[in-house]
């Protein structure tokens, strides 16, 4: 099939016009009023106060800033190994230690029984990853955290716009990190946001994105800079650019009317086409969750994954693997570690094309090729 993509930014005239307006009329490209407007609109979308939303330059820096605001040196963070490398690098960048946990076989989200076995005196936080947009058992994660006195940093990179028990991800909880990179549910080119309800870290996060210059955000929103200031801790250049915000604002306005229904229709068609095949397993979702699928991973049983993958690739149907488990990487390796489910399902996983420009016909064609490969 020609020009089929695994994932894709959906950018149109409105985003182009928005950036052109910003560049030609506003002319202020750093962090300024446009970022404040994006934060305001994200806050309105989530139903939270603007002060709870902090835009940054990537999802990874959102995670890093969030973690460095709560971790002490060598604190441990429980995290599923089956996640994007960014989750792990953010923990180690914040001087924390990622403790690799297994996932539930049905949902591919963090297994709380395994997490419980890995608790130590140094455990400070748990980082659930809303895999493919699925906030599976989020309530249990928060109960677990409460029981063991842990902070929760949600890696919600896949889950912007998703809901748990009718409430949007990011409208409740402890610290929630979103990504707006090129292929996420909405994009700002690159970008991310932290949402938190912990008043004690908000200033630290806001300053932290601007080299920890105290109260610099308010000046930037007004197009000013701080010339006389104090700095009390490590900071980073993690603020969002007005250019990113100009793209993100348009994308946000398209999410519920356009992107979400398309992704959900594609998801439903895949389920219809592949759901009955005994050798294919689609990760489950709670019936009380509203998921906007960011990716479409399935498991192919009986050792047939690579054959299916090769056949699809040969037909120009791109596929992916989400993810190579992080405990397999040299930097994060722990030889003692056995993650039974993760290690097994890693060899079964394949991600199929998912983005708003995939058509129903594409899904049917892809599914047919998979069925043929399985014969």
Ligand X SMILES: *Cc1c(COP(=O)(O)O)cnc(C)c1O
Which residues are at the interface with ligand X (CB under 6 A)?
Answer: 58-60, 83-84, 86-87, 129, 155, 157-158, 179, 181, 192
The residue (of 46 and 86) whose beta carbon lies closer to ligand X is 86
The residue (of 69 and 179) whose beta carbon lies closer to ligand X is 179
The residue (of 59 and 96) whose beta carbon lies closer to ligand X is 59
For residue 142, the number of C-alpha atoms closer than 13 Å in the C-beta half-sphere is 12
Helix (H, G, I), strand (E, B) or coil at 150: coil
Least distance (Å) from ligand X to the CB of residue 113?
A: 22
The residue (of 87 and 367) whose beta carbon lies closer to ligand X is 87
Least distance (Å) from ligand X to the CB of residue 278?
A: 30
Least distance (Å) from ligand X to the CB of residue 347?
A: 20
Least distance (Å) from ligand X to the CB of residue 129?
A: 5
Task: List strand residue ranges (DSSP E) for the chain, in order.
Answer: 53-56, 76-80, 97-101, 123-126, 151-155, 163-164, 167-168, 175-179, 192-196, 280-281, 289-290, 296-300, 349-352
Q: State both tokens at 45.
A: 């979308």
CA 304 to chain centre: 29
Backbone angles phi, psi at 196, to 5 degrees: -145, 155
β-sheet bridge partners, residue 289 = 164
Cβ-based neighbour number of residue 220 at 10 Å: 23
Q: Are 130 and 159 in contact (CB under 8 A)?
A: yes
The residue (of 154 and 279) whose beta carbon lies closer to ligand X is 154
Least distance (Å) from ligand X to the CB of residue 90?
A: 8
Cα–Cα distance between 85 and 60 in angstroms, integer? 9
For residue 310, the number of C-alpha atoms closer than 13 Å in the C-beta half-sphere is 6
Least distance (Å) from ligand X to the CB of residue 57?
A: 8
Least distance (Å) from ligand X to the CB of residue 86?
A: 4
The residue (of 155 and 207) whose beta carbon lies closer to ligand X is 155
Q: Which residues contact 291 (CB under 8 A, 6 or more apart)?
A: 132, 133, 134, 135, 159, 162, 264, 267, 285
Burial class (CB in 10 A: 0-12, 13-18, 19+), 72: exposed
Sign of CA dihedral 198, 165, 91, 244: negative
State the maximum Cα–Cα separation within the chain, in Å, rounded to a whole number: 71
The residue (of 158 and 327) whose beta carbon lies closer to ligand X is 158
Least distance (Å) from ligand X to the CB of residue 191?
A: 7
The residue (of 209 and 273) whose beta carbon lies closer to ligand X is 209
Q: Over 183-243, what HEC string results?
A: CCCCCCCCCEEEEECCHHHHHHHHHHCECCECCHHHHHHCCCCCCCCCECCCCCECECCHH
What residue number has its CB nearest to ligand X? 59
The residue (of 351 and 367) whose beta carbon lies closer to ligand X is 351
Least distance (Å) from ligand X to the CB of residue 63?
A: 6
Q: Which residues contact 262 (CB under 8 A, 6 or more apart)?
A: 356, 357
Least distance (Å) from ligand X to the CB of residue 341?
A: 18
The residue (of 87 and 171) whose beta carbon lies closer to ligand X is 87
């Amino acid at each position: 099939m020609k020009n089929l993509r695994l994932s894709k930014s959906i950018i149109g005239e409105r985003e182009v016009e928005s950036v052109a307006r910003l560049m030609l009329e506003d002319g202020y490209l750093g962090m300024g009023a446009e970022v404040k407007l994006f934060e305001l609109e994200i806050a309105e979308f989530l139903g939270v106060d603007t002060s709870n939303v902090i835009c940054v330059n990537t999802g990874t820096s959102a995670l890093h800033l969030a973690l460095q605001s709560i971790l002490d040196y060598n604190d441990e963070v429980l995290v599923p190994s089956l996640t994007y490398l960014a989750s792990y690098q953010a923990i180690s960048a914040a001087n924390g230690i990622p403790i690799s946990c297994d996932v539930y076989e049905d949902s591919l989200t963090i297994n709380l029984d395994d997490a419980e076995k890995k608790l130590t005196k140094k455990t400070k936080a748990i980082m659930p990853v809303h895999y493919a947009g699925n906030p599976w058992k989020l309530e249990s994660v928060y109960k677990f955290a409460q029981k063991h006195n842990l902070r929760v940093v949600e890696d919600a990179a896949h889950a912007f716009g998703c809901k748990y028990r009718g409430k949007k991800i990011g409208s409740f909880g402890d610290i929630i990190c979103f990504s707006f990179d090129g292929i996420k549910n909405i994009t700002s080119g690159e970008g991310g946001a932290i949402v938190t309800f912990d008043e004690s870290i908000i200033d630290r996060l806001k300053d932290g994105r601007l080299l920890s210059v105290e109260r610099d955000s308010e000046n930037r929103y007004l197009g000013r800079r701080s010339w006389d200031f104090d700095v009390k801790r490590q900071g980073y250049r993690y603020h969002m650019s007005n250019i990113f915000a100009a793209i993100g604002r348009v994308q946000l306005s398209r999410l519920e009317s356009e992107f979400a229904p398309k992704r959900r229709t594609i998801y439903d068609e895949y389920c219809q086409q592949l759901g009955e095949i005994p050798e294919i397993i689609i990760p489950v979702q709670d019936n009380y969750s509203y998921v906007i699928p960011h990716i479409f991973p399935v498991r192919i049983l009986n050792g047939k994954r690579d054959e299916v993958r090769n056949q699809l690739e040969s037909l120009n149907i791109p596929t992916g693997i989400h993810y190579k488990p992080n405990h397999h990487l040299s930097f994060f390796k722990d030889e003692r570690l056995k993650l039974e489910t993760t290690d097994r399902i890693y060899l079964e996983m394949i991600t199929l094309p998912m983005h708003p420009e995939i058509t129903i016909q594409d899904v049917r064609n892809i599914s047919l090729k998979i069925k043929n490969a399985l014969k």
